[in-house]
Amino acid sequence: MGDNMAKIDFGGVIEEVITSEEFSMEKAREVLKDEIVAVLGYGVQGPGQALNMKDNGIHVIVGQREGGDSWERAVADGFVPGETLFDLETAAQKGTIVQLLLSDAGQVATWSRIKKCLNAGDALYFSHGFSIVYKEQTGIIPPENVDVMLVAPKGSGRTVRRNFLDGSGINSSFAVLQDFTGRARERTLALGIAIGSGYLFPTTFEKEVHSDLTGERGVLMGCLAGVMEAQYQILRKNGHGPSEAFNETVEELTQSLIRLVAENGMDWMFSNTSTTAQRGALDWAPKFRDAVAPLFEELYESVVTGKETQRVLEANSAPDYREKLQTELDVIKNSEMWRTGAAVRALRPEKRKR
């Protein structure tokens, strides 16, 4: 069952992508009609992908530790214990496609049990290249008699679900590491469409994890949080009130400017601001670029060499991990900047109407 790719010009570089026009939902259902997709883990990515596939008519079951919050969430979402909701091993045994959507540390902790449940011809599915690429540290080496594939949505699990419900879809990358059955590619693309991807672009496990870890630590989260904090503190230091400092640092970005970027790009956003803002942004952007470039070089090297992997596994495997994590998150939540943010959000018109 072949598929065609659309050739797209990405800034002068031609890449091939697959959309629902090249690989329809009907085709995905045909490919997956005899499959049982076992979603292991109902934390971050699990709910969005499982519910989207379920709504698309795919036979989905969930594997999750019984009794915890995630188990109860799966029940609330309509998965029935003993019918479509099981413990991890039972779900893995029942599934012909096993989606390993536990946290990276959780995959390491459970792999020896999950591996025993895989049968010849099954498919092992990841949404992150972490466990496979850093196998020396994770110990996750799939058996040779299964397909090994990846579909990585470029967004959180909540976004995967929200975009599916509003009809916009999520962009996802895909890769095939091991094709035992000769059907790995079509299984991968079918799953990519079934979880709600708007379009799929090819990658490798290595490229996916290197770009993903860099992005999370950089522009998407770490860098963003750091530069916001720096600007807010400078404004406060120079006598600006909390509301003014927050609005000029976060609110205007998230509620206005970033939406213009999303619609038509950075140049379009610049062209739709004042001439004063344009001149300042054009003058200062290269300075910020050059200032942070060495940090991104250091970050990428840390990702590729596995230093970031080691840090993640050591921290996330500690018995008091969740308590320490909550302490760190509470520092952010309780900072003046983000307490101000909570107050500002409460003033939005849609909040006041409730």
Catalytic residues: 128
Helix (H) / strand (E) containing 175: strand 170-178
Q: Report the amino acid identity of residue 85.
A: L
Separation CA 351–CA 345 (nearest Å):
7
**Residue 268 burial class via C-beta count within 10 angstroms: exposed 0-12, middle 13-18, buried 19 and up:** exposed
| Structural tokens at position 190 | 């079918």
Inter-residue contact 114 to 98 (CB < 8 Å): yes
In the block, tokens 């979402």 appear at: 77
Q: Which residue has the tokens 């969930």?
A: 62
Q: Which residues neighbour 91 within 8 Å (Cβ) at sequence distance 6 or greater?
A: 38, 39, 40, 61, 62, 63, 64, 98
Give CA–CA dist 346/313, Å, rounded. Answer: 37
Rounded to whole angstroms, the Cα distance separating 79 from 39 reads: 11
Per DSSP, helices labelled H in the chain are: 25-32, 46-55, 69-76, 88-94, 104-115, 130-133, 135-138, 157-166, 184-194, 205-217, 222-237, 242-246, 252, 258-264, 266-271, 275-304, 307-316, 321-333, 336-346, 349-352
Query: For residue 173, what are the contacts with CB-CB under 8 A and spacing of at least 6?
Result: 150, 151, 152, 154, 200, 201, 202, 203, 208
- Rounded distance between C-alpha atoms, residue 303 and residue 316, angstroms: 17
Count of C-beta atoms within a 10 Å radius of residue 323: 9
Whether the Cβ atoms of residue 101 and residue 39 lie closer than 8 Å to each other: yes
